[in-house]
Structure 1
Amino acid sequence: MTYKNTSFTRLFLILSLFGILLNSCKEKTVSVFDEADAIINSIVVPTFPDKVFDIIEYGAISDGETNNSEAIKRAIESCHQAGGGTVLIPAGKFLTGPIHLKSNVNLHLEEGAEVLFSKNKADYLPVVHTSYEGVELMNYSPLIYAYKQKNIAITGKGTFNGQADKTNWWPWCGAERYGHIEGEPQQRDDHNLPRLRKMNENAVPYTERIFGAGHQLRPAFFQPFGCENVLAQGVTFTNAPFWVMHPIKSTNVTVDGVTVSSHGPNNDGCDPEYSKNVHIKNCVFDTGDDCIAIKSGRNDEGRRVNIPSENIVVEDCEMKDGHGGVVMGSEISAGVRNVFVRNCRMDSPELDRAIRIKTNTLRGGFVENVYVKNIQVGQVKEAVLKINTYYGIYDNQEGEHIPSIKNIYLEDIEVENGGKYGILIQGREENPVKNVTLKNVHIKGAATPMLVENSEPINFEDTTINGNKY
């Protein structure tokens, strides 16, 4: 095509050039984190009517010894029947069994309130529909539980104390350092995890997977199961039996300003599973296991359920002790996508990794579109970024499901002490890790800068490890 030297042609060329420049500017200014902002804006944060139901008025006694289960239950039921509002737990020590939330109820802890959960295992019966390490079952009730509810919250400046310790709940993990005595029942006994995992393989309906009394599988602390519009704000969790916050099959979950200070076995801070549109912000995680671990079912169960965890934003959080800062896996068989982590501080001699992806060929699953930006790492033990597709292989964790991991992006990361490895990637020859990018990442003090196996070449931009540019 030829152009004649006319005013119209000159105007056409000018407008075309302007369009090219405009599109170029848009490409430079639009960030993948605009998608994170869009996710946040789409999340419905529950609000509640201005009605208060004080548990004292329902007979609760703050002596730390009287079991207030019935008083709290009556307050929640009254609040729910009245169309919603706030169930108030005032300052003081209140002993209770499990708390079951209902729609449109905000359970609010005043500053100085401490909820002590009963050490009597029988208080957590009858069994409820719950989950253990990525497998659904009927088991002891979580300490705070909501099942298929809408618009629920736990808020305030008080403390939820699970009262788990080396004499209660923790010994069931089977580790001597958590109080287990050799010969006593524990979760790896044949009637516990082996039985549950065989039921998983055989697709036994969850209603027939009856555990609870006579079994040693610990309950989660706070578990919204199949819920919509969930808020946890301001509260502190301590002394958890097992995973601390476990939103499963839930949508629109906000965790804001929560402190988790719990160093028991499997004391993950927050484990979204089969969940969508999750916003975790302004939190402090000081945990006995992963700070945040995004999950989506174990093995055959995850593939049957087939609900990926997706659209998860983590920002402005502090990660202290823990196996990993932000982790995907290991129960990950339905996959994880669209994870955004920004403006976080990770620092502890007991923090093993900053960003971690863990799976194997029994789990399979996929992880894609993980974006990490503006992270300050003081020190980690093992690696800043660890991608491991051989997780647990010494426990016979090999199968036929090759994981897929791609589109992992780290930008503006400063690390003072990178631990054993700066970057550790162990993919699979059948499906190597794809499209890992490090931009403006600076790692100091790594004993070994990188160990990378079965991965496409890493994309480096303005990145240094131990002062060497990559």
Structure 2
Amino acid sequence: MSPPFEMPVLERPEFPDQTFDIRDYGAVKMAEDESHKNTDAFHRAIEAAYDAGGGKVLVPEGDWLSGPIHLMSNINLHVSEGATIYFSTDKEDYLPVVKQRHEGVEAFNYSPMIYAYQLSNVAITGKGVLDAQGEHWWEWYRELGAPPRAIASKVPLSRRDFGKGSGMEGMRPNFVIFWESENILVEGVTLNDSPMWNVHLVYSNKIIVRDIRINSLMAPNGDGVVIDSSKDVLIEYNHFETGDDAVVLKSGLNEDGLNINIPTENVVVRNFEARDVRTGSGGVVFGSETSGGIKNVYVHNALFDGSDRGVRFKTERGRGNVVENIYIHDIEMRNITYEAINFNTFYTGPQVTGPSPQFRNIYISDIHIDGVPNAIVMTGLPEKWLENINLKNIVVASSEEGVRLTRVKDVTFENIEIHSTKRAMIVEDAFELTMKNVTLEDSFDGTPLLFRGLHTGAVFLSDFPLDQIEFEDGLSSDILLEEPQVQEW
């Protein structure tokens, strides 16, 4: 199914038909010497392939120990079925530092396990396993918490007290980073126990991530695929069990992201499942780092089972820019811990200041939700409401609280069925709200629909019974208009 915006057809990168076996360059299996690090053997094989015009660097069946692997252009790192690369637990092996983006802020830090810097035509393929052995990195997070990224974003990179390059300890690397690269393929492999983020796509384009498994349930900030100021991206047929967001779209934090100002755009995410996605995370997430903007995203055909949240939009003051033209449909959600569909513009609290971000032009349809405390929660900023949000063909089979809308404009609910324990729907400060074929059923001792807020008005109800509505804050049926304004999409 084609996305509802213009996007190039992505093709697999092609490589010369020649193979460079790491054993031919000095690699030794752990079965022969469990302490032998094959870092140099990997690099010799990669350099030989590069010098020959490119090709497949083969990791045969067996267990292999290595430090970080730095890829080169025209290289396919192929991890065979039955092969596992275990990455060293000695932090010194990840020096010298390399450039990366740590949770939206540029820094120099320990190398990721696999690093692709300013490359073209590059791949990681095969049915093998990459194991980061991340426990020794997680200890830092438990002891020290998160580095002060918001403070670091206020000063130029050369003067940031942020990361190993500036003398700071405690910042964990990501597992795999593609930086300013293009024509990228990640396919087939399994990633286990990342230090934090797994596949991180930064300032890159023409990317396919297909049929991979990510297991990072124990990893703090163990996000699966992170699309960060990148474009023309296809993410499909993947399985996630992650210690944070399964698939997340970002574009930089606050001053740093606003100055760089590179959006994430033209992204398709489809045919995937997220199970037991934890630590406040979601199946597909937008933000919280949105300062470069996010636009033209198409998500469809997914299962979220046992995740903390389902579809999540999160940002706050200071981020600025716009998240827009987002299309999401055909998602099954079960056993969600917090919200199934959530828009949160106060991510770390209302006290934060700075440029206000905007969510607008978002279309969500054909969603089935069964088992959630809060089904649909949308909260806009007082100075910048959520705008043009469209929900269609959604069934909430079981929830505690149904719908909660706060500071929204030009919102459409069409063919919506909500079953909840508490009041099914509360609307506070909404203008131009259209409801068509909406069914609200709850166990609340009163009406299922409440309107309140001094700025609520221009509500279009085509067929909702008036005796199921309650008004507060001086509102009355005067806010209701007769003709529904339903946009076809």
Which range, TM-score by smaller chain? 0.7 to 0.9
**Which residue, out of 329, 333, 336, partners 1:373?**
329
Q: Is the 8 A contact 1:346 1:354 kept in 2?
A: yes
CA offset digits 1:366-422 (Å, max 9, x no partner): 21111111111122111121000000127x6x11211111111111111222x1111
Correspondence list, 1:353-364, <5 A = 353-364=309-320
1:206 positional shift = 7.3
> Could you tell me how far apart the structure 1 residues matched to 2:266 and 2:71 are?
25
> Could you tell me how far apart the structure 1 residues matched to 2:16 and 2:160 are?
36
> Could you tell me how far apart the structure 1 residues matched to 2:73 and 2:97 are?
21
1:55 matched to 2:22? The reply is yes
Correspondence list, 1:322-361, <5 A = 322=277, 323-348=281-306, 351-361=307-317
Match of 1:283 in 2: 238
One-letter identity of the residue aligned with 1:426:
T
Match of 1:169 in 2: 137
Correspondence list, 1:381-460, <5 A = 381-393=337-349, 398-417=352-371, 419-456=372-409, 458-460=411-413
In structure 1, the gaps of 5 or more residues are 1-32, 175-179, 181-185
> Could you tell me how far apart the structure 2 residues matched to 1:197 and 1:430 are?
22
**CA 1:278–1:462 in structure 2 vs 1: closer, same or farther (change >3 Å)?**
same
> Could you tell me how far apart the structure 2 residues matched to 1:215 and 1:365 are?
32
1:209 positional shift = 5.5
> Could you tell me how far apart the structure 1 residues matched to 2:40 and 2:156 are?
37
Match of 1:224 in 2: 178
SS at match of 1:338: strand
**Which residue, out of 226, 237, 245, partners 1:271?**
226
Q: Identify the range of structure 1 (459-468 vs 327-336) with the bigger mean alpha-carbon deviation.
A: 459-468
**Which residue, out of 181, 186, 195, partners 1:241?**
195
Q: Is the 8 A contact 2:105 2:152 kept in 1?
A: no
SS at match of 1:173: helix
**Which residue, out of 296, 299, 305, partners 2:260?**
305
Q: Is the 8 A contact 1:137 1:206 kept in 2?
A: no
Larger fraction in helix? 1
One-letter identity of the residue aligned with 1:337:
K
1:187 positional shift = 4.4
Match of 1:123 in 2: 93
SS at match of 2:337: coil
Match of 1:198 in 2: 151
> Could you tell me how far apart the structure 1 residues matched to 2:103 and 2:370 are?
34
1:45 positional shift = 2.5
CA offset digits 1:219-262 (Å, max 9, x no partner): 00010000001110000000100100101000011100010011
Q: Is the 8 A contact 1:36 1:313 kept in 2?
A: no
**CA 1:137–1:392 in structure 2 vs 1: closer, same or farther (change >3 Å)?**
same
Match of 2:478 in 1: none
Q: Is the 8 A contact 2:3 2:268 kept in 1?
A: no
CA offset digits 1:128-160 (Å, max 9, x no partner): 111211111111001100100001000000000
SS at match of 1:46: coil
The alignment's C-alpha RMSD in Å is 1.8
> Could you tell me how far apart the structure 2 residues matched to 1:367 and 1:437 are?
15
CA offset digits 1:31-83 (Å, max 9, x no partner): xx6335853x5324311111000001111011143100000000000111111
TM-score, scaled to structure 2: 0.82
> Could you tell me how far apart the structure 1 residues matched to 2:315 and 2:229 are?
16
Q: Is the 8 A contact 1:45 1:252 kept in 2?
A: no
1:332 positional shift = 1.1
Q: Is the 8 A contact 2:5 2:296 kept in 1?
A: no
CA offset digits 1:410-465 (Å, max 9, x no partner): 11111222x11111011012111011111111111111111111112531221111
Match of 1:132 in 2: 102
SS at match of 2:256: helix
Larger fraction in strand? 2
One-letter identity of the residue aligned with 1:35:
P
1:108 positional shift = 0.3
**CA 1:289–1:206 in structure 2 vs 1: closer, same or farther (change >3 Å)?**
farther
Match of 1:87 in 2: 57
> Could you tell me how far apart the structure 1 residues matched to 2:36 and 2:389 are?
55
Correspondence list, 1:71-86, <5 A = 71-86=41-56
One-letter identity of the residue aligned with 1:46:
P
Match of 1:3 in 2: none
Identify the structure with bigger relative contact order (alpha carbons < 8 Å, sequence gap 6+). 1
SS at match of 2:84: strand
CA offset digits 1:178-235 (Å, max 9, x no partner): xx4xxxxx244xxxx23x5434202243798662565110000010000001110000
**CA 1:206–1:99 in structure 2 vs 1: closer, same or farther (change >3 Å)?**
farther
One-letter identity of the residue aligned with 1:308:
P
SS at match of 1:272: strand
Q: Is the 8 A contact 1:138 1:206 kept in 2?
A: no
1:253 matched to 2:207? The reply is yes
CA offset digits 1:99-147 (Å, max 9, x no partner): 0000000000110000000000000000011121111111100110010
Aligned residues between the structures = 415
> Could you tell me how far apart the structure 2 residues matched to 1:249 and 1:187 are?
27
One-letter identity of the residue aligned with 2:158:
P
One-letter identity of the residue aligned with 1:100:
H
> Could you tell me how far apart the structure 2 residues matched to 1:34 and 1:210 are?
41
> Could you tell me how far apart the structure 1 residues matched to 2:35 and 2:174 are?
23
Q: Is the 8 A contact 2:301 2:331 kept in 1?
A: yes
